[in-house]
Structure 1
Amino acid sequence: MSQHKVVLLLGSNIGDQKKNLEEALNKIKEGGNEILKISKFLTSDPVEFVSSNIFCNIASIIFTHLSPIQLLDFVKSIEVEMGRVNDSRATGGYTDRVIDIDIITYDELKFTSERLEIPHQKHLFEREFSRILLKDFI
């Protein structure tokens, strides 16, 4: 099996955000993925919805054997396991969340499906906090 280099962006704005991010990274590692690099924590205001809860975000580079869809299913299972109850794609909008894990890049792949777009255009080009976190990763 080949290793794939993936950039993930993780965010949390409910509970102990830093602890949530660290727990999600541990679960990613426990799932057989190698974590190569983790950014510093960055706080940001919610984007595309209103909330009084500030986000804490990190970027991470991992190596994985999983395909893009397998990886998506895996990170979504982590979100559910950690208590995330509503996915923004399912609800059609953003809300507060204990954890959010987005796949930003996957090798040099360009991929679009109903559930996944790689590279993740909003994080690469539209969101200021993402550009700050990803500047040393992409």
Structure 2
Amino acid sequence: MSSYYVVLLLGSNIGNTLENIENAIAKIEKRIGKIDKFSKILETKPVEFVSNNIFRNIALSLYTTISPFSLLKEIKNIEKEMGRLEDSSVKGGYEDRIIDIDIVKFGEINLQSSVLEIPHRKHLFERDFSRVLLQEL
């Protein structure tokens, strides 16, 4: 069975953001794969939308045996279990959220579909906070 190196970025700006991130990490480790490395937690202002709620963000790397689309499905299940009912793509824009989990990299795969882009170009090339966190991995 193949194992894939995956990089995820997590963010939260509603409720107890630190607890939200810790809960998401526990679910990821239980259901997706053993976490290899963590970045520090970085507090940031919202990007691409207006809100008074500050984000806490973290990057992490792990190894998984599941496929990119199975990973996406599991991530969306975790977000939903934690109280995020609709994705930004469904809403047509960004808004405050309990948890957001993005797949930044999945092995050496390049994938572009209507529901999944790997690598996640915005996090790799456009968002300064993402690049700061990803450099720590």
Q: Partners of 2:92 and 2:73 in 1: how far apart?
A: 19
Percent of aligned positions that are identical: 55
Residue of structure 2 equivalent to 1:132: 132
Residue of structure 2 equivalent to 1:103: 103
1:20, distance to aligned residue in structure 2 (A): 0.5
Residue of structure 2 equivalent to 1:41: 41
Residue of structure 1 equivalent to 2:73: 73
Residue 24 of structure 2 aligns with an amino acid whose one-letter code is A
Aligned partners of 2:111 and 2:117 also within 8 Å = yes
Q: Partners of 2:85 and 2:51 in 1: how far apart?
A: 17
Aligned partners of 2:32 and 2:71 also within 8 Å = no
1:136, distance to aligned residue in structure 2 (A): 2.8
Residue 39 of structure 2 aligns with an amino acid whose one-letter code is S
Pair 1:63 & 2:63 matched: yes
Residue of structure 1 equivalent to 2:24: 24
TM-score where L is the length of structure 2: 0.98
Residue of structure 1 equivalent to 2:88: 88
Q: Partners of 1:29 and 1:109 in 2: how far apart?
A: 22
Q: Partners of 2:43 and 2:16 in 1: how far apart?
A: 13
1:92, distance to aligned residue in structure 2 (A): 1.2
Runs of 4+ displaced beyond 2 Å: none
| 1:21 aligned counterpart, secondary structure | helix
Q: Partners of 1:112 and 1:129 in 2: how far apart?
A: 23
1:32, distance to aligned residue in structure 2 (A): 4.4
Which ranges of structure 1 fall in alignment gaps of 5 or more residues? none
1:8-19 correspondence runs (5 A):
8-19=8-19
Q: Partners of 2:72 and 2:120 in 1: how far apart?
A: 13
Which ranges of structure 2 fall in alignment gaps of 5 or more residues? none
Residue 100 of structure 2 aligns with an amino acid whose one-letter code is D
1:101, distance to aligned residue in structure 2 (A): 0.2
TM-score where L is the length of structure 1: 0.97
Residue 64 of structure 1 aligns with an amino acid whose one-letter code is T
1:116, distance to aligned residue in structure 2 (A): 0.3
